[in-house]
Amino acid sequence: MNELSELVAPDAAMIERLARSAMATLPAAFAGPAQEVNLRVEEFAPEEFLHDLDIDDPFELSGLYEGIPMTEKSVSDPQTDPDTIWLFRRAILDEWVSRGDVALGALVTHVVVHELAHHFGWSDDDIAKIDRWWE
């Protein structure tokens, strides 16, 4: 058996470990609220997410924030489902391989921070003003 045949793609547990590691290194002002967000790793985005976002190719969505941003929450609002950051393993791995110039941990960290920015109330346009990662 050659060395290449023994290599396996990082599994969901590895992606989750990388994401939790990224969350653990956030500045204190963000770390507390970030710990209140659930983290889920799935192979691909569920069909309803893709449909709602008008995305045809599941490889185009590596992460998603599902919840009510902190800037829109009120203590008088009824309890809703917990805020969740979804990470989609296959899309992340596909981007990692196609880029070829970034560590997997750096890519997962970037996706997690992007989705946390949504939790903190930032729009994609707000994030794009300071983050040129995908250009």
Top pLDDT among 133 and 121 is at 121
**Whether the Cβ atoms of residue 37 and residue 67 lie closer than 8 Å to each other:** yes
Both tokens of 61, joined, read: 């969505």
Q: How many CA within 13 A on the CB side of residue 92? A: 31
**Whether the Cβ atoms of residue 59 and residue 110 lie closer than 8 Å to each other:** no
Mean per-residue pLDDT, 99-127: 88
Mean per-residue pLDDT, 19-26: 92
CA-to-CA dists, residue 129 to 22, 99, 122, 124, 133, angstroms:
22, 22, 11, 9, 11
* Distant-in-sequence, close-in-space partners of 62: CB < 8 Å, separation ≥ 6: 87, 88, 91, 92, 95, 111
Model pLDDT for residues 42-78, shown as the tens digit of each residue: 999 999 999 999 999 999 999 999 998 888 877 766 7
Measured CA to CA, the distance from residue 18 to residue 87 in angstroms comes to: 11
pTM for this model (two decimals): 0.85
Q: Domains in the chain, please, with CATH?
A: 10-70+81-130 (3.40.390.30)
